[in-house]
Structure 1
Amino acid sequence: MTFDRKDYSNDELLRLYEGLLKPRMIEEKMLILLRQGKVSKWFSGIGQEAISVGSTLALHPDEYILPLHRNLGVFTCRQLPLDRLFAQWQGKKTGFTKGRDRSFHFGTNEHHIVGMISHLGPQLAVADGIALASVLDNEGKVTVVYSGDGGASEGDFHEGLNVAAVWQLPVIFIVENNGYGLSTPSNEQFRHGYFINKGPAYGIEAVQVDGNNVLEVYDTVRRLAEDLRQNPRPVLLEALTFRMRGHEEASGTKYVPQELFEEWGQKDPVENFERYLLEQGVLDEEAKQRYRRTIKDEIDEAWRVVFDTPEVTADTAEEVADMYRPFAAPDQAPALGAPTTEKRYVDAISDGLRQSMERYPELVLMGQDIAEYGGVFKVTDGFVQQFGKGRVRNTPLCESAIVGAGLGLSIRGKKAMVEMQFADFVTCGFNQIVNNLAKSHYRWGQNADVVVRMPTGAGSAAGPFHSQSNEAWFVHTPGLKVVYPSTPSDAKGLLAAAIEDPNPVIFFEHKLLYRSVSEPVPDEYYTVPIGKARLAREGADLSIITYGLGVHWATKLANEMQLDCDILDLRSLLPWDEDAVRATVEKTGRVIILHEDTLTGGIGGEIAAWIAEHCFTSLDAPVQRVASLDTAIPFAPALEQNFLAESRLRQCLEKLLAY
């Protein structure tokens, strides 16, 4: 292995040496503790330390890094207290996730690190969002994110690189090419040879380095970072290396030919650099031993602290509370007598979004065709002219990357609104929503200040892939808030409230309501509280609990049948208004829960179960559910009408009244 020190001082070389030595010695201690049964699991990075150490030390301390399993050197070079880092690995309360997640599944803004989730690829998009914030603020900062050669097979890898290329974001994508994805060799993972071959296809620069040569990694990343700070753009950096241990210790290494261990053992990054420094007189034997004693003492003391720390104990109230960033929404109801304008549902949403953009300069809008075109439903028509393309951003067709970028913007203190062109397409970004946005605050205290707007629903003969009602998927996910307004006034106020809220909000907008309903809507900025239902109609004989288009179905039929009934518009589905549901059940004693979604697994089942548990003595009849068929949504109008819940509502009402 050849080292070229260039103009680097002895102090800089020794800084690299210490950076290499600490994670190696921690790893060696971990292997001992594993054999002693004192730790349960470990993902070893032995043999790959030069990549983490060289790249981390090449950056400014306030530039973000997004590491993976085998990047211990990132954390040690950023000077995380070892006792807290080890406590994280042991699931102690003093760790970064309070015992809720393991190993490197955490972030720390103090040290400008955003750790991984087990799905690996989604972090590339988060890096895009962090870099986008730097570009918008003209900071001249670089972001580094890691991928393994196995994880690079995921679609998130493509989306992350493509978005960074299109938006010219200063991200260094480091691929640690160690030849294996767990046990699967590269020739069963991809056919492109080396990852640098991918760069030109994305229109970005691609560089390859010896990932075991810490000086080469350091010099390359330092040179690239200096350039990218002045000329923002992404770079793909491939680091050739080898994993000397198993994917994790329990998996072993029997699947790897022995000759590879012999070959790469000669390229050990720590031993080779140490030998070079000794040969050059930069390091002597006494200093070498001094470094080792100092690091060993630091490691041993940190483990002593951790082993003396009590095991975590569960506090249910704290566990539930930490799913969300605390937020006391201010009362911002419209002033009495405030001027109003007749607005359609779509216009009210556009008005609320525009006023939120004016109120929050840090708010960034992202979505397919939302800029000059104004979105397929024209919600953002004219926004580019008012707010500019920096804040109103057309995106490639890459829902996962854009939702992930929203989290990256949140990490940098910004707000993001992501428009799904149709709610059906959210499946392509599902992982980012339910595993990154929803769990981020619970895991390491980082809120996801992201609103995902979801044009949803049937009734326009659009078929199975443009008409689904998928709100129940997200109501099942702690950490999210789910909103579904039925009127223009509520749509404007709830959207403003969703954008104010620092937590992730999934905001459903029924497409059929966009241009079919209108009412006087206050012109001023106002909010409607999330989690509070609205009594849309008052009566005494029965209660219809519903939301979205169901409110209009119920109102129309109640008028036709001259029903004396409550119609409770939930408006918010997570959280939903238990007090309002209890009040209407106790008032009428007869309840129908109506929704457009399919019956099985729908929200109606949850609310019906809650009523049975908490309001049973108030019931005069069994709780009824009216929902759409348990099928996909058909295209032909006659089939669609038969599918929808509206076709069965009258029959259920008559049955309940006659009970």
Structure 2
Amino acid sequence: MNYTDFKVAQDDKLTLYKAMLKPRMIEEKMLILLRQGKISKWFSGIGQEAISVGVASALSRDEYILPMHRNLGVFTTRKIPLYRLFAQWQGKASGFTQGRDRSFHFGTQDFKIVGMISHLGPQLGVADGIALAHKLKKEKKVTAVFTGEGATSEGDFHEALNVASVWDLPVLFCVENNGYGLSTPTNEQFRCENIADKGAGYGMESHIIDGNNILEVYFKVAHLVRDMRINPRPVLLEFKTFRMRGHEEASGTKYVPQELLDTWAKKDPLANYTKYLLGEKLLTEESIARYKANIQAEIDEHLRKASDEDAIVPNESKELNEVYQKIDFKEVKPISAVANIRLVDAISEGLRQSMKKFDNLVIMGQDVAEYGGVFKITDGFVNDFGKERVRNTPICESAIVAAAMGLSINGMKAVMEMQFADFASSGFNPIVNYLAKSYYRWGEKADVVIRMPCGGGVAAGPFHSQTNEAWFTKTPGLKVVYPAYPYDAKGLLATAIEDPNPVLFFEHKGLYRSLYQEVPVDYYTLPLGKASLLKQGDQITIVTYGAGVHWALETLENNPDIRADLLDLRSLQPLDTKAIYDSVVRTGKLIILQEDSLFGGIASDISAMVMENCFEYLDGPIKRVGSLETPIPFNSKLEQQYLAKSRFESDLRELIAY
């Protein structure tokens, strides 16, 4: 192994040695604890320490790193207190996830480390967002993100590289190619000779580095990041390496030919580097023993501290209260004149005023810049706020959701326009697994709003007409807002943008230009989780939202003899259960109307909650009205038959007569 080609200061050579020695010694201890049942799982990075240590050492302490399972060297090089790492792996409260997630599934703003999720790919897009924030703030910083050769087969890998290239983002994409994605060899993963070859497809600079040579890793990465800070651009690095143990310890290595293991054992990065330093007289056997003794003492001391910590005592209230970041909502009341505007105008106005209020707010989406979005919500925004803050994106929903999360991590706010709510399926993973869970897992907010143009009645067919709110109301950690009026839409959108939690903001396309209302001209907010009582009556409670509100109003106008409470939910998560229960207690009957198909929708949950909490007040069965159990069709007559509107009046009268 060649060390002489890389000019590194003598002191740095010793620092790199000690930085590699520490994770190796920690790992050896953890393998013992794993066999003793004192930790639950371990993903070994033995044989790959030079990559983690070299990259982390080359970056500044205030530059973000997004590591993976086998990057213990990143955490130790950043000097995270070992007892916190040990507590994390033991599921103790002083760990970074308070027992809510295991191993390396955590991050810490204090050390500028952003934790991974098991789906691997989305963190690449998060790195894009972090780097974009640096670029927008004119900070000369690089973001490094790790992944393995297996994850380069994921769509998120390609999306993230493409976005970084198009936007010239200073992201160091570090791929640790150890030859196997769990047990699947690279020849069953891709056909190109090297992963670095994939960079050319994105017009991206790429390099192959010997991942077992600490001086090569450190020297080349340090050189690159110095230049990337001055000339922002993404770089793809392929580190050739090998893991000497299984994907995780339970997997073993039986699928690896013994001769391959023997070959790579001779390339052990720590053993070879130790031999080199001994030859250079930078190390002696005595100094090695001294370094090991110091590290061992540190490990023992911190392990004692973590082990002596009491086990977590489950606290239901604490768990429930830490799914969302707390906000001190202060309602901003309108004080100016009103204007008669459409729903589409109210949303545009609310978004524009939020852009003025928050200079760290970025809008992203397909065609949102000069074109103004397919529904013209952001028409003219580029002239007012510039293309840096109103950003057209490639067609890659997953990477842009992840990039929005990265913007939030790095101190900004993001609004992403999902061109149609239907397309959220292409960004589903980062929404429900990253945005939704980050605060609960390691206390990291997701200051992201995803706008969701949705709904039928416009003959747009199965891929442009879904009202898919139930995909997200099921997921703790997400907020879901679904206004029916321009006044509500403007105020609730402003609140959603102020809220540091992830919000899915549903906008019914059929209401965009068909509905007018007097709306205050200036900025105002409305509380999430407060329903609106539109009509009062003592016969029955009607609970609905979105277009269903207008269907119900039309029905009541056509049937003036019906005395109904009409409750517009406005927000589905949080849900105003008190308003629902109070109304049901007064009227004794409940009908729930939703545009979504019936099974598994919000109506089912509301029905169940009322049965559990208000059963003794009911004078009849709860009735749910939803659309047919089919995809939404294109033909207008088929669509009318599909939609719940066609059945609501008869079901309403049937329940009243019960």
Query: One fold, TM greater than 0.5?
Result: yes
- In the alignment, what sits opposite 2:279? 279
Residue type at the aligned position of 2:175: V
The answer (yes or no) to whether the contact 1:209–1:237 under 8 Å persists in 2 is: yes
State how far apart, in whole Å, the 2-side matches of 1:239 and 1:391 are: 35
What does residue range 506-585 of structure 1 map to in structure 2 within 5 Å? 506-562=504-560, 563-585=562-584
- In the alignment, what sits opposite 2:401? 403
- In the alignment, what sits opposite 2:194? 194
State how far apart, in whole Å, the 1-side matches of 2:408 and 2:100 are: 21
State how far apart, in whole Å, the 1-side matches of 2:201 and 2:235 are: 12
State how far apart, in whole Å, the 1-side matches of 2:102 and 2:589 are: 48
> Secondary structure of the equivalent of 2:145?
strand
- In the alignment, what sits opposite 1:635? 634
Deviation by residue 1:270-317 (Cα, 9 ceiling, x = unmatched)? 000111011011111111111110001111111111221111111111
Per-residue deviation, 1:6: 4.2
Per-residue deviation, 1:624: 0.6
Query: What residue ranges of structure 1 are gaps of 5+ in the alignment?
Result: none
- In the alignment, what sits opposite 2:624? 625
> Secondary structure of the equivalent of 1:620?
coil
Provide the aligned C-alpha RMSD in A.
0.8
State how far apart, in whole Å, the 2-side matches of 1:369 and 1:207 are: 33
- In the alignment, what sits opposite 1:442? 440
- In the alignment, what sits opposite 2:305? 305
Query: What residue ranges of structure 2 are gaps of 5+ in the alignment?
Result: none
- In the alignment, what sits opposite 1:79? 79
Residue type at the aligned position of 1:630: E
Aligned: 1:106 with 2:98: no
Deviation by residue 1:490-536 (Cα, 9 ceiling, x = unmatched)? 00000001001111000000000000000111001001110000011
Aligned: 1:267 with 2:257: no
State how far apart, in whole Å, the 2-side matches of 1:284 and 1:653 are: 87
- In the alignment, what sits opposite 1:257? 257
Deviation by residue 1:208-239 (Cα, 9 ceiling, x = unmatched)? 00000000000111011000000000000000
Per-residue deviation, 1:5: 6.0
> Secondary structure of the equivalent of 1:342?
strand
State how far apart, in whole Å, the 2-side matches of 1:200 and 1:39 are: 42
> Secondary structure of the equivalent of 1:631?
coil
State how far apart, in whole Å, the 1-side matches of 2:163 and 2:2 are: 36
Per-residue deviation, 1:7: 3.8
State how far apart, in whole Å, the 1-side matches of 2:512 and 2:301 are: 63
> Secondary structure of the equivalent of 1:61?
coil
State how far apart, in whole Å, the 2-side matches of 1:124 and 1:37 are: 33
> Secondary structure of the equivalent of 2:146?
strand
The answer (yes or no) to whether the contact 2:8–2:215 under 8 Å persists in 1 is: no
Residue type at the aligned position of 2:392: N
What does residue range 126-165 of structure 1 map to in structure 2 within 5 Å? 126-165=126-165
- In the alignment, what sits opposite 1:456? 454
The answer (yes or no) to whether the contact 1:4–1:216 under 8 Å persists in 2 is: no
> Secondary structure of the equivalent of 1:107?
coil
Deviation by residue 1:233-271 (Cα, 9 ceiling, x = unmatched)? 000000000010000011100000001111111100000
State how far apart, in whole Å, the 2-side matches of 1:5 and 1:297 are: 35
- In the alignment, what sits opposite 2:320? 320
Residue type at the aligned position of 2:37: G
State how far apart, in whole Å, the 1-side matches of 2:472 and 2:110 are: 31
**Percent of aligned pairs sharing the same letter:** 62
- In the alignment, what sits opposite 1:466? 464
Residue type at the aligned position of 1:616: F
- In the alignment, what sits opposite 2:603? 604
State how far apart, in whole Å, the 1-side matches of 2:466 and 2:37 are: 50
> Secondary structure of the equivalent of 2:100?
coil
State how far apart, in whole Å, the 2-side matches of 1:79 and 1:258 are: 36
Deviation by residue 1:379-430 (Cα, 9 ceiling, x = unmatched)? 0000000000110000001111111011111111110001000000000110
Aligned length: 657
> Secondary structure of the equivalent of 1:372?
coil
State how far apart, in whole Å, the 2-side matches of 1:6 and 1:584 are: 75
- In the alignment, what sits opposite 2:241? 241
- In the alignment, what sits opposite 2:653? 654
Per-residue deviation, 1:654: 1.4
What does residue range 320-399 of structure 1 map to in structure 2 within 5 Å? 320-335=320-335, 338-399=336-397
> Secondary structure of the equivalent of 1:521?
strand
- In the alignment, what sits opposite 1:500? 498
State how far apart, in whole Å, the 2-side matches of 1:384 and 1:36 are: 60
The answer (yes or no) to whether the contact 1:130–1:408 under 8 Å persists in 2 is: yes
State how far apart, in whole Å, the 1-side matches of 2:63 and 2:652 are: 61
> Secondary structure of the equivalent of 2:436?
helix
State how far apart, in whole Å, the 1-side matches of 2:174 and 2:283 are: 30
The answer (yes or no) to whether the contact 2:593–2:603 under 8 Å persists in 1 is: yes
> Secondary structure of the equivalent of 2:387?
coil
State how far apart, in whole Å, the 2-side matches of 1:548 and 1:382 are: 27
Residue type at the aligned position of 2:630: T
State how far apart, in whole Å, the 2-side matches of 1:434 and 1:97 are: 18
State how far apart, in whole Å, the 1-side matches of 2:308 and 2:559 are: 71
Per-residue deviation, 1:358: 0.3
Deviation by residue 1:547-575 (Cα, 9 ceiling, x = unmatched)? 00000000001001112211100000001
State how far apart, in whole Å, the 2-side matches of 1:539 and 1:269 are: 77
> Secondary structure of the equivalent of 1:98?
coil
> Secondary structure of the equivalent of 2:373?
coil
Residue type at the aligned position of 1:408: G
> Secondary structure of the equivalent of 1:648?
helix
The answer (yes or no) to whether the contact 1:172–1:234 under 8 Å persists in 2 is: yes
Per-residue deviation, 1:658: 1.1
Of 2-11 and 135-144, deviating more is 2-11
Aligned: 1:213 with 2:213: yes
User: Match for 1:491 among 486, 489, 492?
Assistant: 489
The answer (yes or no) to whether the contact 2:168–2:233 under 8 Å persists in 1 is: yes
State how far apart, in whole Å, the 1-side matches of 2:188 and 2:296 are: 41
State how far apart, in whole Å, the 1-side matches of 2:254 and 2:608 are: 52
> Secondary structure of the equivalent of 1:289?
helix
State how far apart, in whole Å, the 2-side matches of 1:353 and 1:199 are: 37
What does residue range 18-29 of structure 1 map to in structure 2 within 5 Å? 18-29=18-29
Aligned: 1:429 with 2:440: no
Of 271-280 and 535-544, deviating more is 535-544
State how far apart, in whole Å, the 1-side matches of 2:151 and 2:195 are: 12
Aligned: 1:173 with 2:173: yes
Deviation by residue 1:28-66 (Cα, 9 ceiling, x = unmatched)? 111122222322211000000000000000010100000
The answer (yes or no) to whether the contact 1:151–1:157 under 8 Å persists in 2 is: yes
